[in-house]
Structure 1
Amino acid sequence: MVDIGEILKGKYKIEKLLGQGATGKVYLCRNIELGNLWAVKYIYKKHTKIKLLAEIDILKKLNHVSLPKIIDVIEDDSGFYMVESYIEGTPLDKLLKDAESFDEETVIEWAKQLCDALSYLHSMKPFPIIYRDMKPQNIIITTDNKAVIVDFGIAREYKGQNTKDTIIAGTPYYAAPEQLTAEGATDNRTDIYSLGVTLHHLLTGALPKFEETSLLEYDKNISPQMDYIILKCIKKNLSERYQSIDELKKDLNNIKLLKINSFELRIRNRLIISASILMSIISLSMVYLGISAISKEKSAVLDISPEVLALSQKQERPIKVKKKYTDGSTAPVRSNEIKWKSSNQDVAVVKNDRVYATGEGTADLEGFYEDKRLKMTVLVNKAADEVKHVDINLKYLRNYQVSSFAGNGNHTDINGDIPDGDLKNAIISDPCSISFIPNGDLLVTDQRKLRLINKNTVKTIDLETNAEIARISSNGTIYFSFEPYENENQEMIYGICSYKNGITDFIYKNSGTLKVIEDFAFDSHDNIYLLEHEFISTDEEVTSLVYLNTKTKEHKILKELPGFIDSITLDVYDNLFISSKENYSIYKLDKTSQNFMLFAGNEKEQQFVDGINCRFFAPKRIKAVGNNLYILDKNVLRRISLDSNGDISDVESIAGQPGKVPQNNNTGISQHNTYPGYYALFKDPSDFAIDKQGNIFVTDKKGYVIWKISSM
């Protein structure tokens, strides 16, 4: 196995882990001579050497825009390394999880691209290649919306009708019937079946129940022609399917002209009509019995996601609408079933289940479904950075509101002082860090002083030294990084102090001319992990991850990371996360390899994008709370929701607008003003803290205020 930074075969530098499974791992590597990126697929030797060699043999023959290409194979004692094309994009199964389903136009475009790739495989000489594993998980959608097929682990060469498969292979639900029997033999029609199931899943959000079920029962907006095409693909009998992928693509290209005259289809439609009549009779019976489905529908509540959307011009995002019933069940509603009305069509419109930003401004989108109404607010802004054309695609949680908690927008009083006192009159001058004491009080570093804020007053704590960043351990001890000072040996000293019961203790000291503690956090034992940044030259910076035992005061450097790392946090399981503004990304420490792996964002894309395929602009503070990671991304507070496996399930925005806020804009600083989170303007937010009730407090250095974000 390889480590991050290791160089394979003298020319492929391993940069990061992209993913891993039971049989191996996939790394991102860079050709150190040419500088281009490749994927390295590492397979343990104990996992089916014959299967791996077959995959290598197939990939070496490929040369198509929608297929990966292998360029090198390396073997060592532990396994094989296949160097192949790095496909930058998002697995289609993740996109499907986010969108739930896609409009017909999008699916047809991807289907045509996949048909091109399969046609190429089926036309290979001397033997066609049967892919045998078509499913959303094995399709990557690139940043320019191209569909690329990956993972040829069970592909085989087709050597005639009398040649049976040597093994049973395929993914349940997507695999054709002939793949799952010992006597079966796969051919090009096997791939047509799996492609049909995949298209069914993309259009309806569900797998086929059985081949006679019309897609129109899932969504009446799907065209009868597309319904016919997919149902023909997934026939159990091979002779009833499309006989070639080119025949299928021809129908996709001419779908609007496709005439459906088959006797079988007419019979099926009659069955559907008969079933509808029967269901109507059953519904009437249910009404008679007092458990009316109509009553259930009328009592249903519509739920739309997102409720508030911020986009830059020409951006778009899918809409999810669900019916929530009183019994707790839900049912999807396609946007095409809703009549949409925009308050300003020059700003935003809805088309094919998606919101499209057409121009700068604000628009309310109002939807009408039967006797129900729903509303979405769309904010369309200029790109956050017009030079870099940074895109904005944020989905806000509507139920958050923002108000001023402390500070009145003034840097000092009329005498140039920063007085304590009651919350209404106390000055908040330069709030840097913020944390909660177990009793519920807030601790803020302001003008390098520690200031304690309770429900009514602000009080400055007298210290022996100036404080920069303060954090509170679970037992209530205050820890803070102190302002560097010069000792008698003309060395610059920096470090961390503890403060408890009026006593300051220097628990960690170090020296360095251009070194500073950027952030620190506690593990479950109240020991400290700190980020120690060193400026070496104009071209070189390094951040050391230091472990500090708060009881023994012993410390050690765990890792040295290139560049500037801004923030650090640990969750309840002591998983360690860091964020980097310069890399636009969030990383997680892999406990096995002890290397930081990319967790969220993209090191090449500086954007404001929510959803599973998230992007960040400048993540400067990160904090783990429960099953969420909260990120202060430039001027926007965002939230990553994690599933039971610790993977990203969604990313949403809570408060703050992207982009610069005019520094003379003091509108709304009054404590009496309250704003929806998506309208709030933070000038220079520096840190945040979350109380036990879920309220979030944000320090705003240039707004001279502490904001409170609460759930309505």
Structure 2
Amino acid sequence: MNLEDLCMGCMSVKGSADICPTCHWQDGDEEESVLFLPPGTILNHKYLLGKVLGSGGFGVTYLALDLDLKIKLAIKEYLPNGFVTRNGTNQHVSVYSGNQESAYRDGLKKFLEEAMVLAKFSTMPGIVTVRDYFAENNTAYLVMYYLDGITFKEFLERNNEVIPYETGLTILLPALSALSEVHKHNILHRDISPDNIYITKDRQIKLLDFGAARQVLGEQSKSLDVILKRGYAPEEQYRTRGKQGPWTDVYAAGATFYRAIVGVTPPDSLERLAEDSLIAPSKLGITIPFSIERALLKALAVRSSDRYQTMQEFYEALITSSPGNEKSNPQSLPNEKTSTPPTPPASAGCLTLAMGLVGITFCATLIISVFF
């Protein structure tokens, strides 16, 4: 295989073409940041990096190709903002001195420890499979199978930012089920939001970007916006001594559900401590059963002691509150097929949800489809 013939935007063979005929990538389209490794970089003697798939406060994810097995992958690099630098000619990460260096090392250790644990969940449907991890360039890397699909955030954007509660449950419940299992191993996500829930092309739900390093680095960061997503983070995540547990992820999951069916995130949790301005979805004209709304509002309680204490409790409250859905276990998205942008139908329709063991049909005001 001639590596020069590969497209760094999709890893298909483009030959000598300047623009890839498959994805239309052109050399020079890469992200302009000296912190990111350039397309064509080879890691661990076998992973070829392509374009940047995404980046955040704690790392960057690259498209990659396993040169031995010839399979497409995604590789996440531990790269916390404000703690490291890298010049354009050196792959090696330089860490700022002082307290930041100590925090960086602790975060790096957590990153690798978490990768080790997540690798054990390779058979769990709701977790992105970790197939390898290694240290290099004074940092660390987590190797995952590449997912073809869109984030929940993109799904909302393609559906006019608001979806019926039935569709929201179809997407959220598999993620809650996976989180319930992960919590049993004392791992918290700490960053649940529409950005970190992924919908694959075959309509499976996957959780992305677990943040073990986030807790370690949070106290050292100069900006809480790097550590937290306002509207999704509960108040205990803002405090140095705030006690975090499964209830922390419960709040963020509730905020994600609220955002999906209302169209806006809940008010910032710190602001709610002084004066709770959260408005129930039904009071905003959202059609939602009282029992499901009650479960949602309990998950969004400002004080952690007032929330569900485990993700399993929240999951079961939503399941038992769903009409005709007491024993269902959703594992995939509605199986509509279309190739055009979403257009709300003039009349109401029925949305069939593929619910794993049990098929349930809900009546919805809109038929929502996933577009790729």
TMscore range, shorter length: 0.5 to 0.7
Q: Cα distance, 1:354 vs. partner?
A: 2.4
Paired with 2:297 and 2:206, the residues of 1 have a C-alpha distance of: 24
- 1:29–1:40 contact (8 Å) kept in structure 2: yes
User: Letter of the aligned partner of 2:234 in structure 1?
Assistant: A
State the partner residue of 2:63: 28
Q: Which amino acid aligns with 1:65?
A: P
Unaligned runs of 5+ in 1: 158-164, 259-312, 321-334, 342-349, 357-392, 394-608, 614-712
Q: Label 1:196 to 1:26 Cα distance change in 2 as closer, same or farther (>3 A).
A: same
Contact 1:74 1:82 survives alignment (8 Å): yes
Secondary structure, counterpart of 1:254 in structure 2: helix
Residue 199 of structure 1, CA deviation? 0.3
Question: What 5-or-longer segments of structure 2 have no aligned partner?
Answer: 1-35, 80-92, 97-103, 268-275, 325-335, 350-362
Deviation at 1:355, TM superposition (A): 7.0
Asked if 1:132 corresponds to 2:190, the answer is yes
Q: Which has the higher strand share?
A: 1
Separation in structure 2 between the aligned mates of residue 49 and residue 251 of structure 1, nearest angstrom: 40
8 Å contact from structure 1 (residues 55, 152) kept in 2: no
The question of whether the paired residues in 2 share the 8 Å contact of 1:211 and 1:236 is answered with no
In structure 1, which of residues 173, 197, 204 is the aligned counterpart of residue 231 of structure 2? Answer: 173
Match of 2:182 among 110, 121, 125: 121
Deviations for 1:199-255, whole angstroms, at most 9, x for unmatched residues?
000011112244652111223422222211110100112222112211111122222
User: Which whole-Å deviations, capped at 9, do the CAs of 1:519-564 have from their partners, x for residues lacking one?
Assistant: xxxxxxxxxxxxxxxxxxxxxxxxxxxxxxxxxxxxxxxxxxxxxx
Letter in 2 for 1:50: D
* Equivalent residue number for residue 283 of structure 2: 217
Q: Per chain length, whose mean CA-contact separation is higher, i.e. which structure has more relative contact order (CA < 8 Å, sep 6+)?
A: 2
Residues 622-655 of structure 1, C-alpha deviations (whole Å, 9 max, x = no match): xxxxxxxxxxxxxxxxxxxxxxxxxxxxxxxxxx
CA distance in 2, matches of 1:244, 1:110: 19
Equivalent position of 1:354 in the other structure: 367
Question: Residue in 1 aligned with 2:338?
Answer: 315
The CA deviation at 1:68 is 2.6
**Alpha carbons of structure 1 residues 20 and 180: separation in structure 2 relative to 1, 3 Å:** closer
Change (3 A) 1:8 1:211: same
User: How far, CA to CA, are the matches of 2:172 and 2:348 in structure 1?
Assistant: 28
* 2:110 counterpart SS class: helix
- Equivalent position of 1:52 in the other structure: 108
Q: CA deviation at 1:133?
A: 1.0
Q: How does 1:72-111 map to 2 (within 5 A)?
A: 72-77=132-137, 79-99=139-159, 100-111=161-172
The answer to whether 1:9 aligns with 2:9 is: no
Q: Which residue of 1 aligns with 2:309?
A: 243
Indicate conservation of the 8 Å contact 2:112/2:140, yes or no.
no
Does the CA contact (< 8 Å) of 2:115 and 2:142 recur in 1?
A: no
Normalised TM-score (structure 1): 0.35
Mapped to 1, the partners of 2:278 and 2:48 lie a distance apart of 52
Alignment of 1:8-407 (within 5 A): 8-20=43-55, 24-44=59-79, 45=93, 46=95, 48-62=104-118, 63=121, 64-77=124-137, 79-99=139-159, 100-124=161-185, 128-154=186-212, 169-209=227-267, 210=276, 213-256=279-322, 314-315=337-338, 318-319=342-343, 339=347, 351-354=364-367
1:570-602: CA deviations, max 9, x gaps? xxxxxxxxxxxxxxxxxxxxxxxxxxxxxxxxx
Letter matched to residue 193 of structure 1 = Y
What is the CA distance between 1:37 and its match in structure 2?
2.0
Looking at structure 2, the residues matched to 23 and 256 of structure 1 have their Cα atoms a distance apart, in angstroms, of 37
Three-state SS of the structure 2 residue aligned to 1:184 is coil
Could you tell me how far 1:187 is from its partner in structure 2?
0.8
CA RMSD of aligned residues (A): 3.3
TM-score w.r.t. structure 2 length?
Answer: 0.64
Q: Give the Å deviation of 1:4.
A: 2.7
Q: For the Cα contact (< 8 Å) 1:131–1:156, is it kept in 2?
A: no
Q: Which has the higher helix share?
A: 2
Q: 1:352: Cα distance to partner?
A: 3.1
Aligned partner of 2:297: which letter? L
Closer, same or farther in 2 for the Cα pair 1:314/1:2, shift >3 Å?
closer
Q: Distance in 1 between matches of 2:234 and 2:40?
A: 42
Q: Distance in 1 between matches of 2:245 and 2:131?
A: 27
1:181 to 1:355, Cα distance in 2 relative to 1, 3 A: closer
Q: Distance in 1 between matches of 2:44 and 2:52?
A: 18
> Which of 1 and 2 has greater Rg?
1
**Closer, same or farther in 2 for the Cα pair 1:314/1:129, shift >3 Å?**
closer
Q: Which residue of structure 2 aligns with residue 576 of structure 1?
A: none
Summarize the alignment of residues 444-593 of structure 1 with structure 2, pairs less than 5 Å apart: none
Kindly state the Cα deviation for residue 314 of structure 1 after the two structures are TM-superposed.
4.3
User: How many angstroms apart in 2 are the aligned matches of 1:178 and 1:36?
Assistant: 41
The secondary structure found in structure 2 opposite 1:129 is coil
Distance 1:111 1:76, change over 3 A: closer
Q: Secondary structure of 1:354's partner?
A: coil
CA–CA separation in structure 2 for the residues paired with 1:140 and 1:78: 29
Residues 12, 144 of structure 1: CA spacing in aligned structure 2 closer, same or farther, 3 A cutoff? same
For the 8 Å contact 1:154–1:170, the answer to whether it is kept is: no
